[in-house]
Amino acid sequence: MSHFSQIKTQIRDLTSLQQALTDLGVEWKAGPQPVRGYRGQTHQAEVVIEQDNGYDVGFSWNGQEYALVSDLQYWQQPLSVDGFLRRVTQRYAYHTVVKETTRQGFQVAEEQRQSDGSIRLVVQRWSA
């Protein structure tokens, strides 16, 4: 019986996920690599976050999105699972918006971090 939990996300772009983790100061390794779990069990993932206790956290492509994969009994991150995913998802959304608007010819003109933790972006595009 597997001890791994897979938590659905809305994360579909690997590069934006990796940038989000880097922004948050999370050390990660590119996969595919095994996520280590209970009694030597492993699960392949495209991003692996090693923990000091020998049980890893990963993000694994399930055909639709990158699901968070971990043996949650051994979660050892500074935030709760929900808090961690909220922070990762916010930074992921930021990178996705910036990437897409840049692709459409926009540039970030202004960026403000709001008191509630949200980020306000102003983008502009010059036309001839």
Does residue 115 lie within any of the structural domains?
A: no
pTM of the model: 0.86
Does residue 39 lie within any of the structural domains?
A: yes
Percent of the chain at pLDDT above 90?
Answer: 69
Does residue 120 lie within any of the structural domains?
A: no
Does residue 42 lie within any of the structural domains?
A: yes
Does residue 50 lie within any of the structural domains?
A: yes
Closest by CA to 5, choosing from 78, 56, 77, 64, is 56
> 94-105: per-residue pLDDT in tens?
999 999 999 999
Please give the pLDDT value at position 32: 94
Does residue 16 lie within any of the structural domains?
A: yes
Does residue 88 lie within any of the structural domains?
A: yes
* Number of domains composing the chain: 1
Q: The domain containing residue 90 runs over which residues? A: 5-98
> 31-70: per-residue pLDDT in tens?
899 999 988 899 999 999 999 999 999 999 999 999 999 9
Q: What is the CATH number of the domain that holds 81?
A: 3.30.310
Residues 6+ apart with CB under 8 A from 91: 19, 20, 21, 23, 24
